[in-house]
Amino acid sequence: MALVIRNGRVCDPSQNLDAVMDVLVVDGRIAALGPNLDIPPQAELVDATGLVVAPGFIDVHVHLREPGFTAKETIATGTRAAVAGGFTAVCCMANTSPVNDSPLVTRYILDRAQEAAACRVYPIGAVTKGLQGEALADIGGMAAAGVVALSDDGHGIANANLLRRALEYASDFGLPVIDHCENRDLAAGGVINEGAVSTRLGVRGMTRAAEEVDVARDVVLSSLTGAHIHIAHLSTAGSLELVRRARAEGLPITCEVTPHHLTLDESAVLTLGPLAKMNPPLRTAGDVEALLEGVADGTVTCLATDHAPHTTLEKDQVLLHAPFGVVGLECAVSLMLDRLHWRQGIPLPRLIELFSTGPARAFNLPGGTLQIGCPADMTILDIHRETVVDVRQWQSKARNCPFDGWRLKGAPVMVVVGGERRSVLPPPVLAETVAADHGTS
């Protein structure tokens, strides 16, 4: 059955499109765009008057935890959380158990996603065997099995020569390498950002240089190899400037920034404790301002949650022993609409680009556009809707979120995945089916 999204503000950065019109979906693909489209018999209608219709949002940095850590999250719960948060696709990191460092694990993830996922799932393979940073994983085998990128996320790759070889090999398969930029010697067991707050709390800090040294190295290696490096969860003004210069020189460098690094600084640790502990850590207010500038000027390629679920028992420890990481799939879109669009004045098309077109282009994914013939993945937004973050209502197994209780303006209300409509919130979105005579059934 065909689907018509009627009378919405269609905002598609891939086509420089921002106008009120209809979207016709047939057989899971975009069939037509335009005002007052002819409605096929038996079409399902969605009245999107007053709503924004965007290409499906993609989160390129998610930890689904399956296989191995299913007490924290599963492919089923994580993708339900993604849909509830307005995402139509997620890229899942390799730090599972066993590690996704072989075609066998890649195929397992894809098979489980076929059985249980509520949205599209794109596996990311490990760069090195077991994430140990000593020998390359089976990159060719994983590429054939279906990974879309490579990363040892959570582990900086200390051996520059090994990273060089990984970049050269990954390029042969058209895969970007995602780097968690953390120099282990400089990080030296840090818990939060090195600065006034770490001194006040008497805990070891993590210097910004630990990130920036590796970003600088990656820029050099990208220049040497011509390979695409994607900098994960960039957090400092210095790192951003390195990426800005590299991109100005035409190097194939992309980067992501998380909602928590755009909205919180290191002082949040004083009130939130372990709920504000993540890696890289929250930095200074000056870093937050610099990252916001990077979002505005086009340096930042993607917004990504780094959704890192933990059990309550794990996270409810003293700061020193609690694990790194927060969850954000179910509040990231509302948070960014509120803080970036409404408060910082970031234009809506730019925000949509960061959630859809930018991720799709960076990872060569079949999405991020509403062009005719492309898969019908859409995120529908009510940018005026007031919402309150309530982790007790979430689809995710995890509750380790620093934004619980925040009142936000703007929310996703529906996603469409491959032409299938999936509501996120109750009305105002209403659906109906049109009979053969175009009357309402």
- Catalytic (active-site) positions: 306
- Closest residue by Cα to residue 340 from 370, 372, 378, 383: 383
**Torsion angles phi and psi, residue 45, rounded to 5:** -110, 140
**Torsion angles phi and psi, residue 105, rounded to 5:** -70, -40
Contacts of 422 (CB under 8 A, 6+ apart): 83, 118, 414, 415, 416
- Closest residue by Cα to residue 48 from 88, 79, 4: 4
Question: What span, in angstroms and rounded, lies between the C-alpha atoms of 328 and 278?
Answer: 12
Would you say how long the chain is, in residues? 441
How crowded is residue 182: how many other Cβ atoms within 10 Å of its Cβ? 21
**Torsion angles phi and psi, residue 172, rounded to 5:** -60, -25
Burial-class residue 240 by CB neighbours within 10 Å (0-12, 13-18, 19+).
buried
Question: What span, in angstroms and rounded, lies between the C-alpha atoms of 425 and 255?
Answer: 31
- Closest residue by Cα to residue 123 from 134, 107, 141, 140: 107
Measured on CA atoms in the order 56, 57, 60, 65, is the torsion positive or negative? negative
The counts of H helices and E strands in the chain are: 15, 19
